[in-house]
């Protein structure tokens, strides 16, 4: 195949908060302009407005938004888990908030929000 998904991008107001949450939530390693610069500072700079959180099988990117997002998100993440309850508890401990649990015969997911209110789902799957 000549094309693949490289990364999903989330706009955010607080790059440090979202980097901490999503890197711990998904076990990803952040890269940024500040981590490759010659200074030892780890705080955001004007040029550090985009981060790629890298993993073995997935990348997630965070982009600093200069204006607040006031409309409902047009896209969200579905996180697949073979132990949904444990992951929901873990993500809640990292700062996510529970929204609702949708459960039907072949459809079981928990809607949550990240620390900035972006929705994502934790979907129960039999095996990863």
User: Mean pLDDT for each 10-residue chunk of the chain (128 residues)?
Assistant: 76 92 96 46 57 92 80 78 95 97 92 93 87
118 Cα distance to chain centroid: 9
Instruction: Report the share of the chain in percent with pLDDT over 70.
Output: 80
Cβ atoms of 95 and 119 within 8 Å: the answer is: no
Q: What is the pLDDT of residue 126?
A: 84
Whole-model pTM: value is 0.74
Q: For residue 115, what are its two tokens?
A: 């620390």
Q: Write the CA distances from 20 to 4, 67, 71, 120, integer angstroms.
A: 26, 21, 24, 16
Cβ neighbours around 112 below 10 Å, total: 24
Instruction: Report the share of the chain in percent with pLDDT over 90.
Output: 55
According to DSSP, residue 99 is labeled E
pLDDT tens per residue, range 98-114? 999 999 888 899 999 99
Q: For residue 95, what are its two tokens?
A: 């700062």
Sign of the C-alpha dihedral computed for residues 48, 33, 15 and 68 taken in this order: positive
Q: Based on C-alpha coordinates, what's the Rg of the chain?
A: 16
């Amino acid at each position: 195949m000549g094309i693949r998904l490289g990364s999903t991008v989330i706009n955010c107001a607080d790059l440090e908060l979202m980097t901490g949450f999503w890197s711990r939530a998904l076990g990803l390693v952040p890269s940024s302009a500040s981590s490759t610069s010659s200074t030892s500072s780890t705080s955001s700079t004007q040029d550090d407005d985009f981060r790629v959180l890298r993993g073995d099988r997935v990348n997630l990117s965070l982009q600093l938004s200069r204006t607040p997002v006031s409309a409902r998100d047009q896209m969200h993440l579905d996180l697949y888990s073979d132990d949904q309850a444990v992951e929901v508890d873990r993500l809640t401990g990292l700062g996510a908030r529970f929204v609702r649990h949708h459960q039907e015969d072949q459809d079981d997911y928990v809607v949550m929000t990240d620390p900035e209110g972006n929705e994502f789902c934790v979907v129960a799957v039999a095996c990863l």
